[in-house]
Chain A
Amino acid sequence: GIQVEQSPPDLILQEGANSTLRCNFSDSVNNLQWFHQNPWGQLINLFYIPSGTKQNGRLSATTVATERYSLLYISSSQTTDSGVYFCAVGIYNQGGKLIFGQGTELSVKP
C-alpha cells in the first residue's frame, strides 16, 4: 500500500517564525489533504490539494504530484498554530479512503 512520510516529526518555533512541513508519498494519488489537529483533538481541514498551490491567509500548500510530495508553509507563526499537522492521501480505486502520515508536532512559543 501507499506509504506516507512526514518531516520533521517535531518542530519548535518562536512566535513570528516561518516553517515548512513536508509530506512524501510512495505512489500516485488522487486526493491529498492537510489537517491541523488542535490540542483538544479536533481535526481541522486546511487544504484539499492533490496538485498545484493554494493559499489561505498565513498558510499555503503546494503539491508536486509528479514528484510525489507536498509542502505546507506556515508564515508568521502564532501560538494558536500549535498542534499536530497531518498529511493524508487517497486513491479513487481504493474507495477514497485516506492514508495518514504520522504527523508533524508543532509547538510555537510566545
Chain B
Amino acid sequence: DADVTQTPRNRITKTGKRIMLECSQTKGHDRMYWYRQDPGLGLRLIYYSFDVKDINKGEISDGYSVSRQAQAKFSLSLESAIPNQTALYFCATSLAGGETQYFGPGTRLLVL
C-alpha cells in the first residue's frame, strides 16, 4: 500500500465551485505539505503543517485553505475555484524539516 495517498486523483470542476483535495499518510510523519505544479514548471509550496496545531502559509496560499484533521490527514480546499488554479497538486510528508520529503501520486485538477 502507498504510504502517501491523495484523493481524488483527477477532478474536473467549474469556476466558483468549492472543492477539497485530501491527503492521508501512514508514515507517522508530523510534517505535511501541499505543493502545486504548473505545466513546464517545478513545484511551489501552498501550505505546510508541522503538526495538528501548527499550519503555515507557503509562497502561493491565496485562494486556498487547509485543514489538518489528524496527524495522518491534511486537506486542501479551494473555496471558489478559478481557471488559473488548474494544475497538478501534490501532498508530501517528512519526519522533520531537514529530512527527506515523500510525495503522494498527485491530483490533476481542471477548473473550467
Chain A residues packing against B (C-beta within 8 Å): 4, 30-31, 33, 35, 41-43, 45, 48, 50, 86, 88, 90, 92, 94-98, 100-103
Contacts and interface: CB of A to CB of B under 8 A. Distances in A.
Main secondary structure of the interface of B (DSSP, over half): strand
A97 B48 contact: yes
B44 interface: yes
B102 A45 contact: yes
A1 B73 CA distance: 29
A92 B50 CA distance: 12
A28 B35 CA distance: 22
Contact of A102 (B31, B42, B98): B42
Interface stretch (B13-21, B62-70, B103-111): B103-111
Nearest to B43: A100
B42 A42 contact: no
A90 B45 CA distance: 12
B99 A31 contact: yes
A42 B105 contact: yes
Interface in B39-69: 40-45, 48, 50, 56, 58
A97 B61 CA distance: 14
The 5 closest A-B pairs by CB, nearest first: A96-B97, A100-B42, A48-B100, A30-B98, A43-B103
Contacts of B101: 33, 88, 90, 96, 98
Given A41-B88, A43-B103, A50-B98, A100 B44 contact: yes
A45 B105 CA distance: 12
Residue picked from B48, B50, B96, B97, most chain A C-beta under 10 Å: B97
A90 B97 contact: yes
Contacts of A97: 33, 45, 48, 58
